[in-house]
Structure 1
Amino acid sequence: MLPTKNTPDLIDTSELFMSTPLKISWLLASLTLAACGSDNTQTPNPSEDKTSAHAAVASESEVLAKPELGSFGIDLADQDTSIQPGDDFFRFANGHWLDTYELPADRSNYGSFNVLTDRSDERVRTIIDDLSSIEPAAGSLEKKISDYYLSYMDTETLNQRGIGPLQPTLSALAEIDTQEELSAAFGRAQIDNTATPFSFGVGADRSDPDQYQLGLRVGGFGLPDRDYYLEDTEKFLEIRAEYVTHIATVLEFANIENAQSKAEAILNLETQIAEHTWPRADRRKRDLTYIPMNYDDFVA
């Protein structure tokens, strides 16, 4: 059941974490302190001189006393003080940042959560690189991580195998001929972690946290949002044209015939989905997107 302009998603969790310049230093400090911890941390001996304990407290206080942003965890320089907070608090708090920040060329959005993600990725990369420089014991978790990463980075072998490993999946998709088979493919996609026009997830019921519910929302977009399909500005028209070219290129890599016409058909399908999808602002309204129903009502 696709949501229409009068029927929102059953549950939409895509906008819970927005990429805005949230200046919360305690979160960054907590992550830093957690990363600095190790099994070698010594527990103070109660019999030792209190000077050691005082030094430890002073050291921790010194770390916490140096927020990463601003003088107390919020960068006031990013404000736009020409805006009254009662008129537009978001612009008041972030206006200068929004006007002056240069978005990375490879990103469609950026904010504090992206910073945390990038930092975590860098730390994981360091851990993996350290494992790759040694020879972990056979069968160990370290060995599995190292082998998995090295196999991913073995581009020579990947290029030799080509799309061979994908062929069984592509063949199964090509053989879909009924609505039942299509529904089954959507279900398998949830297990395979591939995209479908619908996405599912189990979470706590918003109105009753003591029970769980299955949430359903619309997906299937290759472009970031519905506006990319529906707005006819010069920018979006250019993006859609390049998107079709990209899809056709991918289909050609998979040796799929009539790649260009099929790419155009894919864009047309995604556009129809976009036409039945609420604007982003409406999808953020938790009460509006909360429409619980039982299974019988849903399938009806």
Structure 2
Amino acid sequence: MNNRKLLVAALCAASITFSACNKKQGAQTNDEIVPAINLADMDTLVRPQDDFYHYVNGGWIKANPLKPAYSRFGTFDVLRDRSIEQIHGIVDELAQGSYKAGSNEYRVSVLYKQAIDSVKRNELGAQPILDELKSIEAINSKEALVDFAAQQDNKGDDTFFGTYVMADAENSDMNIFNLNQTSLALGNKEYYTDPKNGEIIKSYNQYIERIAQLAGYSAEEAQRIAKNNIAV
């Protein structure tokens, strides 16, 4: 009798276990499987031994033709464009409302309206930045230069170096303080030192002169500013 009870209990336990396993397996098969690689981004009509780049990226290139304003276009550019579009929508909506002066919504709304008001901006010309230009012209020593750089950094304008916080490259669980050198106006120093870039430097020099004149400097002063800018 006892053996019969044990047999029934064992069969019940086995039945419950089997049912639970089936449910678990069913739940697993219902999960969506996301491939690690989107095969549509590839061009399998190209033999990898002939052109591995287009074999891997051919589909993406065909589906995402390079835009005129871009020298490259990849997934990070797609992410940036989407982010800009979303931010534009948020800011555009904020610009339609009225907010308490000093609030974040008010600041964003005012800044956006000022940025798109090209008529007012052209009327003001360089007037809003004249104090900044005077501060630059007043620099007459290394100490004064350091003081000016510190003031600009407090405003969020990097001068000789930039500071920021981002994930630690060796431990992504934590953020760390980073310090790096800011870039030159043209990017790499080779633009300034390589003789083959003479036309680029010439055009850049003319550009600086033009900007200085628009800021109210005379032609002679503009030439001085451009010359000093290249010399630095």
User: Smaller-chain TM-score range?
Assistant: 0.5 to 0.7
The answer (yes or no) to whether the contact 1:248–1:259 under 8 Å persists in 2 is yes
1:229 is matched with 192
- Cα RMSD (Å): 4.1
Following superposition, the deviation at residue 111 of structure 1 comes to 2.7
The secondary structure found in structure 1 opposite 2:157 is coil
1:81 is matched with 48
Unaligned runs of 5+ in 2: 1-29
2:216 is matched with 255
Question: Looking at CA atoms only, which structure, 1 or 2, has the larger radius of gyration?
Answer: 2
The answer to whether structure 1 residue 238 and structure 2 residue 204 are counterparts is no
- Quote the sequence identity (%): 24
State the number of aligned residues: 197
What aligned pairs does 1:75-114 form with structure 2 within 5 A after superposition? 75-77=41-43, 81-82=48-49, 93-94=56-57, 103-114=66-77
What aligned pairs does 1:75-224 form with structure 2 within 5 A after superposition? 75-77=41-43, 81-82=48-49, 93-94=56-57, 103-133=66-96, 135-138=97-100, 141-201=104-164, 215-224=178-187
Deviations 1:46-65 (A, max 9, x none): xxxxxxxxxxxx9x95xx97
The answer (yes or no) to whether the contact 2:165–2:178 under 8 Å persists in 1 is yes
Unaligned runs of 5+ in 1: 1-57, 270-300
How does the TM-score come out when normalised to structure 2?
0.64
The secondary structure found in structure 2 opposite 1:77 is coil
Letter in 2 for 1:174: E
The secondary structure found in structure 2 opposite 1:200 is strand
| Whole-angstrom CA distance in 2 between matches of 1:80 and 1:178 | 64
| Whole-angstrom CA distance in 2 between matches of 1:195 and 1:142 | 26
How does the TM-score come out when normalised to structure 1?
0.51
The answer to whether structure 1 residue 72 and structure 2 residue 38 are counterparts is yes
Following superposition, the deviation at residue 182 of structure 1 comes to 0.7
The answer (yes or no) to whether the contact 1:198–1:217 under 8 Å persists in 2 is yes
Q: CA 1:165–1:104 in structure 2 vs 1: closer, same or farther (change >3 Å)?
A: same
| Whole-angstrom CA distance in 1 between matches of 2:89 and 2:174 | 40
Higher mean C-alpha displacement, 153-162 vs 178-187: 153-162
The answer (yes or no) to whether the contact 1:80–1:94 under 8 Å persists in 2 is no
Q: CA 1:216–1:123 in structure 2 vs 1: closer, same or farther (change >3 Å)?
A: closer
Q: CA 1:195–1:248 in structure 2 vs 1: closer, same or farther (change >3 Å)?
A: farther
The answer (yes or no) to whether the contact 2:94–2:109 under 8 Å persists in 1 is yes
* Greater helix fraction, Structure 1 or Structure 2: 2
Following superposition, the deviation at residue 92 of structure 1 comes to 7.1
Following superposition, the deviation at residue 102 of structure 1 comes to 6.5
Task: Report 1 or 2 for greater relative contact order, CA contacts < 8 Å, sequence distance ≥ 6.
Answer: 1
Q: CA 1:137–1:192 in structure 2 vs 1: closer, same or farther (change >3 Å)?
A: closer
Following superposition, the deviation at residue 256 of structure 1 comes to 2.8
The secondary structure found in structure 1 opposite 2:43 is helix
Q: CA 1:146–1:204 in structure 2 vs 1: closer, same or farther (change >3 Å)?
A: closer
